[in-house]
Amino acid sequence: MKTSILFILILITLTGCSSSYKILKPEKENNFRLADYPTFGFYDIEAKGDTVSATFGKNITIIKDAISRNLEEKGLNEAQDPALKINIAISVKEEIQTRQTNFQNDGRPLYMGQRRYSWKSKEVEVGRYKTGTLLIDLVDPSTNKLVWKGGGEGVLPGKEKDFSKEVNELINQIFSSIGN
């Protein structure tokens, strides 16, 4: 559940003017009210394998800060022994964009003598991009029960984007559905 920097990529899914991400439908327990929880804290983030980049720690901090800011605006305070714990799950996947070759755009069959024309359609790579998903779970540690979950997913923009701004926008939208 706690993948790694991959979530960073998902957070980057926020593209300035034209958003390339969508907010996932939040789910909550029937009796969940954020106002019932005065404090919050984070579960430890675990990352394994080749998913950890050089900026992993920095990106986790940006995400945690954005979540903290949203919860503090709703009246909660961060604590060592919290009434509400937050789990962050991230998944990033590299996708390959392809197209099918066709007779009109990719040339005519070559004459090979003896009427042996040949032309075959094939998949051609035209680009690579990353998609990501960020899930945020709120857990009541006294019962160890999931009380709310939300998230976002989409195409991650290139490195030129301001990651901090994009993450803050995504998390603001995710938490706008939580109410009080």
The answer to the question of residue 110 being in a domain is no
CA separation for the pair 170, 157 (Å, rounded): 13
Assign 35 to helix, strand or coil: helix
The answer to the question of residue 111 being in a domain is no
- pLDDT tens-digit series, residues 21-43: 789 999 999 889 999 999 999 99
In this structure, of 14-28, 64-78, 131-145, 150-164, the range with the lowest mean pLDDT score is: 14-28
The answer to the question of residue 117 being in a domain is no
Q: What is the pLDDT of residue 108?
A: 61
**Domain count of the fold of the chain:** 1
CA separation for the pair 146, 137 (Å, rounded): 7
The answer to the question of residue 151 being in a domain is yes
The answer to the question of residue 79 being in a domain is yes
The answer to the question of residue 113 being in a domain is no
> Nearest 5°: phi and psi at 135?
-120, 140
Closest to 76 in 3D by CA, of 41, 25, 124, 32: 41
- pLDDT tens-digit series, residues 38-78: 999 999 887 665 556 666 777 788 889 999 999 999 999 99
CATH code of 42's domain: 3.30.160.670
Domain that holds residue 53: 6-100+123-176
The answer to the question of residue 106 being in a domain is no
Percent of the chain topping pLDDT 70: 69
The answer to the question of residue 118 being in a domain is no
Predicted TM-score (pTM) of the model is 0.73
Q: Which residues of 14-48 are buried (b: 16+ CB within 10 A; e: fewer)?
A: bbeeebebebbebebeeebebeebeebebeebebe
Maximum alpha-carbon separation in the chain: 83
